[in-house]
Structure 1
Amino acid sequence: MAVTIRDVARASGVHVSTVSRTFSAPHLVNAETRNRVLAVAEQLGYRPNRAARGLTTGRTHNLGLIVADIANPFFPPLIKAAQAHARARDYHVFVADTDEDPRVEEELIQAFTKQVDGVLLCAPRLGDRALARLRRQVPFVLVNRRLDGLPAVLMDVGRGARLAVEHLAGLGHRRLALLSGPEGSWNSRRIGEAAADAAAAAGAELTVIGPNSPTEQGGQIAAPEVARAAATGVLAYNDLVAIGLVEGLAELGVRVPDDVSVVGVDDIMQARLNRPKLTTVAMPTVAAGRTAVDMLLQLVGTDEPGPAALTVLETTLVVRESTAAAPVAERPARLSPGEVT
């Protein structure tokens, strides 16, 4: 015989309504009780009837997850974490890719409106006005984008950019370049602002090169401009751009890190496999996926949402083989004993 909701309630020692809320509105159930009910349901093999529950609650128990480019290795760990976290809460996730096109992004949000309870927007390219308008159609949480009034999960890329510039300056690099990301990227703006501040504080010159495609090809195309800028230290928008830059510089006879040090952002798997292994800013993608799901479920589970939530996750600098001391001619002169600045 099929396991019923009454069986789960009896085995859990709770009322039937508590089991129902555990699956339909988990945020309303005490965490300890919720976890006990879910464990018993899993042990008994109980599966709630989605169709019946949807008629009762008016919810689909589906979420949408929209990313800028599913081929970018940055996104799969986030997608996998979000899907697993949602599935543990009895939600399914539909994933869609915009190919960096804001028009496609808007079409996908509108298409999801009646199919999901809420949407996770990862690194959206839409403008502020469009996002503010679309939020009235479906609840959503932003990932790596800040907009007043909207809940968001941010990976502190500004801190990461400062750490990267300070690392390069600490190695003696005084002529730096920043390979920015695609036009309209909120992340690219944050990296640029933080890198400029850190360079100024370190007494280094920063040349901004871009916008660039957030791909390996984008880095290869930018290599000649980096060489013309005579930069000895480079911070790239992401790891793909950094890896492409290393390849492009090699074709020009410029060695990394002997002639030019390169830092990426993301810490994708290729950063560890590339030669030289890439120094990069590690982004907490798994934590971001899980946190964004929790935030979205809390949002769709209430009729009167409070102030928009904001979570900022810490980034770290991972030093590998693509950065080294600046060429001798680039390093600041050491003061002789007794000299003063």
Structure 2
Amino acid sequence: MADDTAVDAFGTPGDTVPSESVTIYDVAKLAGVNPSTVSRALNRPGRVSAATERRIRAAAETLNYQVNPMARALPTGRTSIVGLVVSDITNPVFFDVIRGAEAAATSAGYTLVLTESEESDEREYERAQRMLRMVDGMLLATPRMSDEQITALARQKPVAVVNRLVDDVLSVVPDVQQGIAEAVRHLRSHGHSRIAYVPGPALSWMARRRGELLAQRCEWAHIELVTLDPVAPTVAGGRSAAVAVRDSEATAVFAYNDLIAIGLMQELVETGIRIPTDISVVGFDDIFGADFTSPALTTVKSPLREGGDHAMAALLARVTGAEISADGFDLATTLVVRGSTGPAAR
């Protein structure tokens, strides 16, 4: 009832004024409050009473008033905008990272802006530099640029990294060791003694990390590991690795990510190789669609949404001067067994 009365007092939604001519003082006059109260209500929700905030927002809507983040940044030095850079917007692995980061940003009253690098370290650094001018902080998801470039960005404004570890930069990295250990035990229990690894991009820190941990676990389990040449982290990249996988004489293959695993499976099946009868395939990340393949893909599930959420929350805490230790985040990986793995071929 209170909301209806407020809207009636301010007129109908059709009686609007062009937003360009409306100022915070017009909103304050219509709402019957001070301009500073309008600023608190619109820029930092919860700083005024709920009734007053509703009245101010109703006035702003009636007048078609929009907060200008650039103008707001002049007295405060903050835009309430935060940036996110991903290496490939078409890669499903980033869907949940983006959702998690967006949820954390929205809950803190920030607007998220997004750009991609198309797997280019040069474009990534260039676009990050450009974005950094307009945001309060930046989250880099699985970045391809060098540690030195990331550190240079972090010297300018708060920066956080997800799926990569950079010294002296806030980094949120899932514990991939647990999931890889489970995958190796799973393959060993099925009699596999020779495994091939298809790495992702040469510039990918996570590709190297997964390869190193896989080598350690295979050595411990007395499994021979054959590391193949890096490929693009795409379905096409997986297809391109099929000949090398076949020639490796491995009975199982571990792919850097699910897209590579899916492309590899497609190419192998088309050449008459049966999965998992002739070769078992394991992916990584458990992206949307990993269970759509035939057979469904066995993969190491990574907490992608939680990683994006935690990394953004930690970044915004740093933007506001608070401190959050990334070590406190529980981001374990785990094996999801489906139909693409089975007993080693005899």
Superposition TM-score tier, normalisation by shorter sequence: 0.7 to 0.9
Distance 1:292 1:38, change over 3 A: farther
Paired AA for residue 117 in structure 1: D
The Cα RMSD (Å) is 2.8
**Equivalent residue in structure 1 for 2:339, among 306, 309, 321:** 321
Deviations 1:184-222 (A, max 9, x none): 211111111111111111111000012111011111111
Distance 1:106 1:172, change over 3 A: same
TM-score (norm 2): 0.81
**Equivalent residue runs for 1:1-341 within 5 Å:** 1=10, 20=40, 40=50, 44=54, 49-51=67-69, 53-302=72-321, 309-310=326-327, 311=329, 313-327=331-345, 329=346
Q: How far is 1:134 from its partner?
A: 2.0
Paired AA for residue 264 in structure 2: L
For the pair shown, the structure with the greater C-alpha radius of gyration is 2
CA distance in 2, matches of 1:276, 1:308: 41
Percent identity among equivalent residues?
A: 40
CA distance in 2, matches of 1:275, 1:164: 20
Q: How far is 1:112 from its partner?
A: 1.1
Deviations 1:113-132 (A, max 9, x none): 22100111000011111211
Secondary structure at 2:241 match in 1: helix
TM-score (norm 1): 0.82
Given that 1:220 and 1:248 are in contact with CA atoms closer than 8 Å, whether structure 2 keeps it comes out as: yes
Given that 1:149 and 1:307 are in contact with CA atoms closer than 8 Å, whether structure 2 keeps it comes out as: no
Given that 1:279 and 1:318 are in contact with CA atoms closer than 8 Å, whether structure 2 keeps it comes out as: yes
Given that 1:158 and 1:190 are in contact with CA atoms closer than 8 Å, whether structure 2 keeps it comes out as: no
Give the unaligned 5+ runs of structure 2: 1-9, 11-25, 58-65
CA distance in 2, matches of 1:110, 1:156: 29
Equivalenced residue count is: 306
Which stretch shows the higher mean deviation, 134-143 or 118-127?
134-143
Paired AA for residue 314 in structure 1: A
Which stretch shows the higher mean deviation, 81-90 or 100-109?
81-90
Q: What is the aligned partner in structure 1 of residue 3 from structure 2? A: none
Secondary structure at 2:289 match in 1: helix
Secondary structure at 2:227 match in 1: strand
CA distance in 2, matches of 1:307, 1:321: 40
Given that 1:23 and 1:89 are in contact with CA atoms closer than 8 Å, whether structure 2 keeps it comes out as: no
Q: How far is 1:37 from its partner?
A: 5.7
Secondary structure at 2:284 match in 1: strand
Given that 2:153 and 2:159 are in contact with CA atoms closer than 8 Å, whether structure 1 keeps it comes out as: no
CA distance in 2, matches of 1:278, 1:39: 52
Secondary structure at 2:145 match in 1: coil
Distance 1:44 1:22, change over 3 A: closer
Which stretch shows the higher mean deviation, 142-151 or 243-252?
243-252
Give the unaligned 5+ runs of structure 1: 10-15, 25-33, 330-341
